[in-house]
Structure 1
Amino acid sequence: MTPSNLPLIGAFGALALLTGVAAVAAPGPEAAEAPAARLPVQRSALVCPAPTASDLAETQYTAFTPGGGKAKPGGGGASAGLLPATTATGLGGRKDGKAGADGRAGRGKDDKPVVPLESPGSPVVATTSDSSAPALTGTADGALAPGWTVQQTSVVAAGRGRGVLGTACTAPDTDFWFPSASTAKERQDFVHLTNPDPTAAVVDLELYGRGGKLKTTVSDGITVPPRSTVKVLLSTLTQKPTTNVALHAVARAGRVGAAVEALDDRIGGDWLSPAADPSGSVVLPGIPKDATSVRLVALATGEDDADLKVRLAGPSGRLTPAGHETLHVKSGMTSAIDLGDLTKGEPGSLVLTPADGGSGAPVVAALRVTRGKGSDQETAFVPAVEPLRDRGTVADNRAKRSTLALVAPGRTAKVKVTVSAGSEGGSPVSRTYTVKGGTTKAVEPPFPSSGKGSYALTVEPVSGGPVHASRMLAIPQGGIPMFTVQTIPDDRGTVNVPHAEQDLSLLND
């Protein structure tokens, strides 16, 4: 090859490179009309709060990614696992651990990932009884990223908050609403703020009651160090005990995972997960058929009051709770109503819609649900959840202990439910269910064929109207109906990728 040929070859190489790049500027009319493609995400992040600090707790982590394709461990960027975070000093909490000398906030080079996955389609389980077990943060890449989910389930045998405390580990974000929190004397509610990133996050906490925003101390500018968690006892933020509180956590710098650990002296405890973003209409799916008490807490987040219709979507249609046909929620204030045993032996879901039929003022809402009576009561929470778009998954299901609730608030819908292989083997099983409009269908999902251990449950809309879903996991002990409820949001395993085309005009000046 002679030197005189090199510039010409270089020009052709540049031309080939540029024509192989998707044009962003000045696309043609055909590109503008083409729909965006939905492609699998290549990276997912999750944050798990530190488990309850009870010495009588046993915690199980279950990790899962939907799909049946084999991912080579360590190959092609396919990996998924969680690593411990440092526990920094909180308000009313404890401090465990210390920052590492390498600046990784307590993570050492010898730390081993918790529940690392090797392939999609098969759950992985790990357990701990360590009362000082840390919060966890981690990522999934490649084939293990789309729909990666981790469930954290603790069983507390006795003491404050005894019962089943379950939560799905969440993606880090900047804005969280927690209706149904409390600073009452019989409750200890801790908000866990976990920072997965290498830079500090700054979080503001706001509390709202029936009279509006509560006066708080030391609630603004809470610093969460890199790859650390801060645990804040909500009752230390205000001098006046308040039963029905809505907590708003906003990260003004960085991002965090957030969850509320709600512990009651008398009726057990559970994790309170973030509610769906404020909306004029909300759906709270999966009230157990044997619920003995249901309390609704709602907050109008905008400048306008909200007037809502209150309806129970049961197995045969919508019902109006006696004496609670509508609910008026003042701007910036919580409104709570006790609905008693409104399900009357049948499963149901609560549907809140604008009373005037319009778009309505935005609200956030959650339910506190109680099963059992007297000293044998146990509590769980059902926050509002958005409808499934493509797919949603909940891990840690167990034979004859899981109940899936599906509600179609509008038109009739058809959904596909797939149970994975078990953590100890077996094969996945799928079934399709039809949910009539305005009803809730509660089903005991099938168990994996020849499977053992914990399994994951994936719900995919097939046709019809929107569907909201939740899963109840019941682990009764000592005559107490211990249980937890997790709503099933869309896993956001795919993203829109705009259509692009080659554009040779980029070569022109």
Structure 2
Amino acid sequence: MKSPSMSLIAGAAALAAVTAFAALTAPGGTADAAPAKAAARLPVERTSLVCPSPGLSPLSETTYTSVVPAGGGDGPAGTAELLKSTAADPDEGKKGDGKDKEKKKDDPGKPVLALKEPGKPVTAEAAGASTPALVGTATGRLAPGWTAQQTTVVEAGNGRGLLGVSCTAPDTSFWFPAASTAKSREDYVHLTNPDDTAAVADIELYGPEGSLKSDVGEGITVPARSSVPVLISTLTSQATDDVTVHVTTRTGRVGAVVRAADETAGSDWLSASTNPTGTLVLPGIPKDATSVRLVVFAPGDDDADLKVRLLGQTGAISPVGHESVHVKSRMTASVDLKDITKGQPGSLLLVPVQSGKNTPVVAALRVVRGTGDKQEVGYIPATAPVGARATVADNRDKGSVLSLTAPTADATVKVTASAGSKGGEQAVKKYTVKAGTTLEVDPPVPSGLKGAYALTVETESGGPVHASRTLTLPQGGVRMFTVQTLPDDRGTVEVPAARQDLSVLDD
């Protein structure tokens, strides 16, 4: 049996050996404490997306386009697949705690879209009113910047229009200004759950006088890997032209987007506004817009007073009669800006009237092109800057227009047109955007293009840039269009630098 003194000596020797080894193998080969290194940005290893059910009418035709920008990373090959969700009945969402027994679901089968390599889009087609939502995950080198677009054409009848939406990353909170419960509108919130357990969501509505009370929007169960559409007008008895919709989850996460249909102006998808903040940019109002309506909501306890600025081709102007907008706490404010662009492309900038008072707000634009029975509607939510990189899929040989806005300082961006889905070589072009202006360009097109292609925008120098892409596909004399914003794709994530700290061994 070993003596206590020998045990202490052996323990001390072992600790000394461990300490010596740690010192020799520490970064820099020294035991001295070194200053912590800045966090590195590394490509993400997993990305999830959901696409809402496009089924609007038997006449609908939908194109899906999926792409990963080239040069995203050199990790394992990975996969990027979108599969059919299990369709859910519109009345299926009922109060619950997420533990409700779920009905048996069919195997979604093979992927609707499956990418094989970065830099080359893949496409798929669907038709009819029974097309389900899609859910998917990308891993490995196909995860950073994975982007998918859903584009639906409905030539006539209920829901006529060109409806485009960038498939959504699942989250726990979404804001949708510019929705409506008016008699002339039929707006649905589509909730899609990509996970293997049920999610429970709440839908809150806010009009010009504040909250639109309703118990029906509470505790909506979205079964695993399923989608539930909720008709907004059924959540309240009040018919209101301008409504802000807030979707949150109690358990789990969902992808959320609003399908807004107007009996006169057609229909389109309304994507979520960027998170509440004091300054907002809404980029890419078409130059031939005949009607522009701004809808703003202040979710906090304070009112917001905002300057309204149109950033045009040559600089910023204040719309006559609408130089500012007052937004009361938890109330929806709207401003009819009419044909504000006057034949020139532009973007809207909202900034606090009082410097330093950054009351958080969310906002969106309802934009109409055409008149009479030739009207078509689209929506532009406030969006975050392009940041390091942003991508929009499903561009065509003709019909795509890119809007670039630099609200505070000159900036230079690089725009890459990917290879085509059926052939063609990528093309690259650089643009400089002057401070306080909007630059509208016909983007580069891949040489020898066949099929659809993607556009990737990267900020190279200068201040922040906000961007959107307008896709126009005329049908039956109507200039059908849809606008998609390009926020940062979050293809990289900060990974803090780690170093060994032997102080944890101290008693």
Alignment of 1:365-376 (within 5 A): 365-376=363-374
Give the drift of 1:53. Answer: 2.3
Give the drift of 1:17. Answer: 11
- 1:5 maps to none
Pairing partner for 1:303 from 298, 301, 304: 301
Whether contact under 8 Å (2:189, 2:259) holds in the other structure is yes
> What is the SS of the residue equivalent to 1:188?
coil
- 1:46 maps to 49
Going from structure 1 to structure 2, the CA distance change for 1:498 and 1:236 (only over 3 Å counts) comes to: same
Cα separation, 1, equivalents of 2:53 and 2:22: 49
Cα separation, 2, equivalents of 1:434 and 1:421: 24
Pairing partner for 2:154 from 142, 150, 156: 156
Cα separation, 2, equivalents of 1:48 and 1:19: 52
Is 1:476 aligned to 2:479, yes or no?
no
Structure 1 residue ranges, 4+ long, deviating more than 4 angstroms after superposition: 13-23, 68-71, 502-509
Pairing partner for 2:178 from 177, 180, 192: 180
Going from structure 1 to structure 2, the CA distance change for 1:57 and 1:267 (only over 3 Å counts) comes to: same
Give the drift of 1:105. Answer: 5.7
Going from structure 1 to structure 2, the CA distance change for 1:436 and 1:28 (only over 3 Å counts) comes to: farther
- 2:62 maps to 59
Structure 2: which amino acid aligns with 1:174?
A: T
Going from structure 1 to structure 2, the CA distance change for 1:63 and 1:379 (only over 3 Å counts) comes to: same
The CA deviation string for residues 14-65 of structure 1, in whole angstroms up to 9 with x for no partner, is 9999899999xxx975342x11000000110001100132111110000000
Whether contact under 8 Å (1:304, 1:331) holds in the other structure is yes
> What is the SS of the residue equivalent to 2:186?
strand
Deviates more, 1:238-247 or 1:60-69: 60-69
Give the drift of 1:84. Answer: 1.2
Alignment of 1:247-396 (within 5 A): 247-396=245-394
Cα separation, 2, equivalents of 1:451 and 1:197: 37
Structure 1: which amino acid aligns with 2:123?
A: V
> What is the SS of the residue equivalent to 2:284?
strand
Give the drift of 1:90. Answer: 2.5
Whether contact under 8 Å (1:210, 1:334) holds in the other structure is yes
Going from structure 1 to structure 2, the CA distance change for 1:252 and 1:140 (only over 3 Å counts) comes to: same
Alignment of 1:164-175 (within 5 A): 164-175=162-173
- 1:223 maps to 221
> What is the SS of the residue equivalent to 2:424?
coil
Cα separation, 1, equivalents of 2:251 and 2:66: 29
Structure 2: which amino acid aligns with 1:289?
A: K
Cα separation, 2, equivalents of 1:38 and 1:416: 20
Give the drift of 1:166. Answer: 0.3
Structure 2: which amino acid aligns with 1:379?
A: V
Give the drift of 1:264. Answer: 1.1
Unaligned runs of 5+ in 1: 1-10, 94-100
The CA deviation string for residues 68-93 of structure 1, in whole angstroms up to 9 with x for no partner, is 5898xxx9451010111112233499
The CA deviation string for residues 415-459 of structure 1, in whole angstroms up to 9 with x for no partner, is 111000011111111111000000000001011011211000000
Cα separation, 1, equivalents of 2:261 and 2:20: 63
- 1:6 maps to none
Whether contact under 8 Å (1:104, 1:198) holds in the other structure is no
- 1:90 maps to 90
TM-score by length of 1: 0.90
> What is the SS of the residue equivalent to 1:457?
strand
Cα separation, 1, equivalents of 2:72 and 2:490: 19
Give the drift of 1:106. Answer: 2.7
Going from structure 1 to structure 2, the CA distance change for 1:91 and 1:69 (only over 3 Å counts) comes to: closer
Cα separation, 2, equivalents of 1:458 and 1:311: 27
Structure 1: which amino acid aligns with 2:54?
A: P
Whether contact under 8 Å (1:22, 1:503) holds in the other structure is no
> What is the SS of the residue equivalent to 1:343?
coil
Whether contact under 8 Å (1:22, 1:500) holds in the other structure is no
Structure 1: which amino acid aligns with 2:411?
A: A
Cα separation, 1, equivalents of 2:501 and 2:303: 51
Going from structure 1 to structure 2, the CA distance change for 1:342 and 1:21 (only over 3 Å counts) comes to: farther
Cα separation, 1, equivalents of 2:25 and 2:473: 55
- 1:30 maps to 34
- 2:242 maps to 244
- 2:458 maps to 460
Going from structure 1 to structure 2, the CA distance change for 1:443 and 1:104 (only over 3 Å counts) comes to: farther
Cα separation, 2, equivalents of 1:112 and 1:494: 29
Whether contact under 8 Å (1:285, 1:382) holds in the other structure is yes
Structure 2: which amino acid aligns with 1:395?
A: A
Q: Percent identity?
A: 59
Give the drift of 1:282. Answer: 0.4
Give the drift of 1:324. Answer: 0.2
Structure 1: which amino acid aligns with 2:312?
A: G
The CA deviation string for residues 387-431 of structure 1, in whole angstroms up to 9 with x for no partner, is 122100000001121000000000111111100001111111111
Whether contact under 8 Å (2:415, 2:429) holds in the other structure is yes
Cα separation, 1, equivalents of 2:232 and 2:452: 34
Is 1:402 aligned to 2:436, yes or no?
no
Whether contact under 8 Å (1:423, 1:454) holds in the other structure is yes
Cα separation, 2, equivalents of 1:404 and 1:87: 35
Cα separation, 2, equivalents of 1:312 and 1:389: 22
Structure 2: which amino acid aligns with 1:340?
A: K
Going from structure 1 to structure 2, the CA distance change for 1:340 and 1:141 (only over 3 Å counts) comes to: same
Going from structure 1 to structure 2, the CA distance change for 1:506 and 1:227 (only over 3 Å counts) comes to: same
Cα separation, 2, equivalents of 1:119 and 1:29: 43
Whether contact under 8 Å (2:405, 2:433) holds in the other structure is yes
TM-score by length of 2: 0.91
Whether contact under 8 Å (1:105, 1:226) holds in the other structure is no
Cα separation, 2, equivalents of 1:221 and 1:28: 56
> What is the SS of the residue equivalent to 2:464?
coil
- 1:491 maps to 489
- 1:96 maps to none
Whether contact under 8 Å (1:119, 1:144) holds in the other structure is yes
Going from structure 1 to structure 2, the CA distance change for 1:410 and 1:200 (only over 3 Å counts) comes to: same
Structure 1: which amino acid aligns with 2:42?
A: L
Is 1:79 aligned to 2:83, yes or no?
no
Whether contact under 8 Å (1:85, 1:105) holds in the other structure is no
Q: CA RMSD in A?
A: 2.6
Whether contact under 8 Å (1:161, 1:267) holds in the other structure is no
Whether contact under 8 Å (2:417, 2:456) holds in the other structure is yes
Aligned residues: 484
Structure 1: which amino acid aligns with 2:62?
A: T
Going from structure 1 to structure 2, the CA distance change for 1:499 and 1:163 (only over 3 Å counts) comes to: same
